[in-house]
Amino acid sequence: MKEKLLFELNSVYRDNMRIKGYSFGEGEESACIVGATRGNEVQQLYICSRLINIFKQLEHQGKMKYGKSVMVIPTVNSHSMNIGKRFWSTDNTDINRMFPGYSLGETTQRIAAGVFENISSYKFGIQFTSFYMQGDYIPHVRVMQTGFEDIELAKDFGLPYVYRRNARPYDTTTLNYNWQLWETKAFSVYTSATDKIDVVSAREAINAVLSFLNKQGIIQYRCHEGFISQFIEGHSLMNVKSATAGIFIRHADVDSRVKKGDVIAEIMDPYTGETADRVIAPQNGIVFFHVNQPLIYSQTPLFRIIPTDDLV
Amino acid sequence: MIETVASVGLPIDEKLMIQKNRLVPANGLSGNEKRISVVTGTHGDELEGQYVCYELQRRIKENIECLTGIVDVYPAINPLGIDSITRGIPGFDLDMNRIFPGLENGSMPEYIASKIIDDLSGSAAVVDIHASNIFLEEIPQVRINELSRDTLVPLAKLLNVDYIWVHSSATVLESTLAYSLNVIGTPTLVVEMGVGMRITKKYGDQLTDGILALMKELGIWNGEVITPKEPIISEDGEVSFINAGKSGVFVPCVGHWKNVKKDGHIGDILNPLTGEINERIFAPTDGIVFTLREYPIVNEGSLIARILA
Ligand SMILES: [Zn+2]
């Protein structure tokens, strides 16, 4: 294991911020794994630190394939993590909206540039990331439709789903998108937690990464095969929104099957405790995402459901 | 007449409302009037537009007989942000100016964005007033995406600003309010002026004069207006950026909107712990300082100034 200082930001009022990468094996830059870019991505940090621990053992056992190397960067934003802020500590900008970065630009552009110049030539790029709304997902690999995406390869993670969605204008400055532009095969892995540690879904994500690297001939690792991933597209999911604001009482969990007409949640009046609204499944399906905050606005997408009527 | 453009229920006994006030000619509408829309408060920490919304309406109401078209004023399209001194949308950590044109069926911010676009579309002109952020002070200026230069520069010249910056297009800016409206043929001018969390009355009065001049040109106002000042118009190549090379406390020694000579002293980044200067900042070129750091604390990379050669 080699610890490499990828970027250091000097500070007047606090310790310098050091972005560290941990690399294993020698030779071709085969795979790079990036964890937390936001200060609340604790699960993402945890997964990377577990992976570093496992790679250290694999390297020790001679199970890194000859001529291949892997680097893991647990976080690029320790300054925000240390003070419990999601975005950059001073100006609130999002490092994951600053790629490929600019070494003469603003602070977070410099951070992105300092990271990206170290990781842009890897063959595979894997990022653990999170969504802007608090909620739980079925673990899945997400690829953005850029014309460079590789769905079949994404299935090698063996996670239940490979999810593809359109790139929107604001996606063009994410790490995933820029990796793809620089010809890295890039994948974002979503697990079911962000600001808390979910050991079970972390283990699933770790296994998925190891299984993927094993299939690409980068490491030698025996593990169960995982799932035969289903491919789904963003527009094929059903959004179930709230008509009413109030306290969100959820009945359906992520990954559960729901039948058309099921009451999958209720909205409770926050003053009288009465049911203000029942949230009904519009079709048969599997819950892919649900929000998890207790108080919700009207117009909030509460669930995203994979329709199953057309599945055999 | 106050109208609600979009309304969303909040969890506990409150409605989030996006409101506008519509001013119409005293003797009613014929149906052929043009409409100007003044929008602000996308970023909750930018307040310069609040005064303009007031002052413009005060002047129109004083001479309502001069109004020959429709004026829609939207003082707060991110009202929760303004109320809570939050730049983005509280609870979502989203920059509202990155979600346009929105989505009728999307999340709360996307839904509101789509309602705002629906309401603004068809205006003869939209003036979208921003106030930089809390870090930088800006001279009154209009920023124009080069793709809309031909339509917008002639309108921008009427706004009585000091400066028009025609900048190159970037994909990420395609989700702004202005881009989304320009693309559907509603001419939208982005004004940047002053500094976050403050009101600079002088700039507000200057822009109000300009909006009335633009209204006159569009046939919405036939009262007295000023002759707009001749703005400097430039493109990206003529703008130099100065970013901090060191972290510390920035203290300028030049004034905003003042001329500087190449290698002239702009200010210093001080170290309050050691009592030393971490970095001395000099002008890379002759020019005029149109953006100047207002917030003293800087990190490596923080923008100190922009200079127009
Ligand atoms: Zn703004």
Mean pLDDT of chain B: 96
CB A195 within 8 A of CB A45: no
Mean pLDDT of B248-260: 95
Percent of chain A exceeding pLDDT 90 equals 82
The pLDDT confidence band at residue A191, using thresholds 50, 70 and 90, is: confident
Q: Give A-chain residues touching B183 at CB under 8 angstroms.
A: none
- Taken in order of first residue, the domains within chain A and their CATH numbers are 2-232 (3.40.630.10), 237-307 (2.40.50.100)
Instruction: Tell me what pLDDT residue A131 has.
Output: 81
* Contact flag B171-A12 (C-beta cutoff 8 Å): no
Model confidence pLDDT, tens digit, residues B178-237: 999 999 999 999 999 999 999 999 999 999 999 999 999 999 999 999 999 999 999 888
* Contact flag B12-A9 (C-beta cutoff 8 Å): no
Model confidence at A236: pLDDT above 80: yes
CB B248 within 8 A of CB A12: yes
The pLDDT confidence band at residue A265, using thresholds 50, 70 and 90, is: very high
Instruction: Tell me what pLDDT residue A205 has.
Output: 94
* Contact flag B13-A270 (C-beta cutoff 8 Å): yes
* Contact flag B8-A108 (C-beta cutoff 8 Å): no
- CATH tag, B2-230: 3.40.630.10
CA–centroid distance, B15 to ligand 1, in Å, is 24
Which one of A79, A91, A96 would you mutate to disrupt binding with B, by most B Cβ within 10 Å of its Cβ? A91
Q: Give A-chain residues touching B278 at CB under 8 angstroms.
A: 12
CA–centroid distance, B101 to ligand 1, in Å, is 16
More confident residue, A110 or A146: A110
Model confidence at A138: pLDDT above 60: yes
Q: Give B-chain residues touching A172 at CB under 8 angstroms.
A: 171-172
Model confidence pLDDT, tens digit, residues A157-185: 999 999 998 888 888 999 999 999 999 99
Rounded to whole angstroms, the Cα distance separating B36 from B220 reads 8
Model confidence pLDDT, tens digit, residues B100-129: 999 998 889 999 999 999 999 999 999 999
Instruction: Tell me what pLDDT residue B221 has.
Output: 98
Q: Give A-chain residues touching B172 at CB under 8 angstroms.
A: 97, 169-170, 172-173
Task: Please state which of the ranges A88-92, A96-100, B214-218 shows the lowest mean pLDDT.
Answer: A88-92
Shortest alpha-carbon distance between residue A75 and chain B (Å)? 19
The pLDDT confidence band at residue A79, using thresholds 50, 70 and 90, is: very high
Model confidence pLDDT, tens digit, residues B130-186: 999 999 999 999 999 999 999 999 999 999 999 999 999 888 789 999 999 999 999
Q: Are strands A301-307 and A263-268 parallel, antiparallel or unpaired?
A: unpaired
Tell me where in chain B the CATH 2.40.50.100 domain(s) lie: 237-308
Indicate the Cα dihedral angle A5, A7, A9, A10, nearest 10°: 50
Instruction: Tell me what pLDDT residue A197 has.
Output: 93
CA–centroid distance, B153 to ligand 1, in Å, is 20
CB B182 within 8 A of CB B127: no
* Contact flag B243-A244 (C-beta cutoff 8 Å): no
Fold (topology level) of B237-308: OB fold (Dihydrolipoamide Acetyltransferase, E2P) (2.40.50)
Instruction: Tell me what pLDDT residue A267 has.
Output: 97
Shortest alpha-carbon distance between residue A156 and chain B (Å)? 31
Instruction: Tell me what pLDDT residue A311 has.
Output: 54
Q: Give B-chain residues touching A297 at CB under 8 angstroms.
A: 8-11, 16, 91, 108
- Model pTM? 0.91
Mean pLDDT of chain A: 93
Tell me where in chain B the CATH 3.40.630.10 domain(s) lie: 2-230
Q: How many CB pairs under 8 A join A and B?
A: 101
* Contact flag A247-B11 (C-beta cutoff 8 Å): yes
* Contact flag A105-B16 (C-beta cutoff 8 Å): no
Model confidence at B32: pLDDT above 50: yes
ipTM (interface predicted TM) = 0.86
How does DSSP assign chain B, residue by residue? -EEEEEEEEETTTEEEEEEEEEE--TT---S---EEEEEE-SSTT--HHHHHHHHHHHHHHHTGGGB-SEEEEE--SSHHHHHTT-SSBTTTTB-GGGSTT--TTS-HHHHHHHHHHHHHTT-SEEEEEE---SSEEEEEEEEEEGGGHHHHHHHHGGG--SEEEEE---GGGGGSHHHHHHHTT--EEEEEEE-TT---HHHHHHHHHHHHHHHHHHTSB-S--PPPP--EEEEGGGEEEEE-SS-EEEEE-S-TT-EE-TT-EEEEEEETTTTEEEEEEE-SSSEEEEEEE-S-EE-TT-EEEEEE-
- The residues placing their C-beta within 5 Å of ligand 1, an ion, are B 43, 46, 130
CA–centroid distance, B133 to ligand 1, in Å, is 7
Instruction: Label residue A14 exposed, middle or buried (CB < 10 Å: 0-12, 13-18, 19+).
Output: exposed
Q: Give B-chain residues touching A109 at CB under 8 angstroms.
A: 301
Instruction: Tell me what pLDDT residue A225 has.
Output: 75
Model confidence at A223: pLDDT above 80: no
Comparing CB atoms, the residue among A91, A246, A297 nearest residue B108 is A297
Model confidence at A310: pLDDT above 70: no
Model confidence at A312: pLDDT above 60: no
Model confidence at A299: pLDDT above 70: yes
* Contact flag B93-A241 (C-beta cutoff 8 Å): no
* Contact flag A107-B111 (C-beta cutoff 8 Å): no
Mean pLDDT of B36-41: 98
CA-nearest of A307, A198, A162, A303 to A241 is A303
